[in-house]
């Protein structure tokens, strides 16, 4: 996974880390679905990743410094996967992808609502959500703001659409 490097182009190098059909979905589930354990990532995703692929991607992302793994004190076998700062900063890429997909592809209503809010919120909202991720995944304290956080707004909107069905 390291001896590739087809070129020193930043876009190419980024693609060599997350340029496959699964890595960014794993990151997405960690960010928006707050999946932190292997089983959660394996079973609670809409796409149904295989366990061997998931294991492989988690290894690759660990090696690339995008996520970390810690033991879960509540269960000797469980591991807790967390985003690093480098991982948190993948959010703008995901947000742009979500916006593009929302605009041009047959997105389902319940899964598109987050994309719409992220697009409307713009980079300011992304920054707020990234701060929230830093708190959740890196333990970085942050100043509480009034009203619901970016993550809470996304989650609330999602549940609202689900409830209407």
Which residues bind to DNA, rule: CB under 7 A? 20-22, 37-40, 42, 48-53, 55-56, 58, 69, 75-79
35 binds a copy of itself (CB under 8 A): no
43 binds a copy of itself (CB under 8 A): no
CA-CA distance, 139 to 115, in Å (whole number)?
Answer: 26
Closer to a copy of itself by CB, 65 or 148: give it: 65
Q: Are 34 and 41 in contact (CB under 8 A)?
A: no
Judged by DSSP in three states, 48 sits in: coil
Nearest to 117 by CA among 147, 89, 88, 156: 156
Q: Are 50 and 26 in contact (CB under 8 A)?
A: no
Nearest to 69 by CA among 46, 41, 38: 38
Stretch that binds a copy of itself, among 22-30, 34-42, 55-63, 135-143 (CB under 8 A): 22-30
List the interface residues with a copy of itself, window 60-119 (CB under 8 A). 65, 86, 89-90, 92-94, 96-108, 110-112, 115
Nearest to 27 by CA among 103, 109, 93: 93
Closer to a copy of itself by CB, 92 or 148: give it: 92
Residues forming contacts to a copy of itself in the complex (CB under 8 A) are 5-17, 19-21, 24-25, 28, 46-48, 65, 86, 89-90, 92-94, 96-108, 110-112, 115, 123
């Amino acid at each position: 996974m390291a001896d590739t490097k087809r070129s020193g182009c930043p876009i190419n190098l980024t693609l060599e880390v997350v340029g496959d059909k699964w890595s960014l979905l794993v990151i997405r589930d960690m960010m928006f679905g707050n999946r932190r354990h292997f089983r959660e990532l394996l079973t609670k995703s809409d796409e149904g990743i295989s366990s061997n692929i998931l294991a492989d991607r988690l290894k690759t992302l660990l090696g690339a410094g995008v996520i970390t793994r810690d033991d879960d004190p509540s269960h000797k076998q469980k591991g807790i996967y967390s985003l690093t700062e480098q991982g948190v900063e993948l959010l703008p890429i995901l947000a742009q992808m979500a916006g593009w997909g929302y605009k041009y592809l047959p997105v389902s209503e319940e899964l598109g609502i987050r994309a719409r809010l992220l697009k409307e919120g713009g980079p300011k909202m992304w920054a707020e959500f990234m701060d929230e991720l830093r708190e959740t995944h890196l333990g970085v304290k942050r100043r509480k703001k009034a009203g619901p956080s970016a993550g809470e707004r996304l989650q609330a909107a999602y549940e609202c659409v689900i409830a209407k069905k």
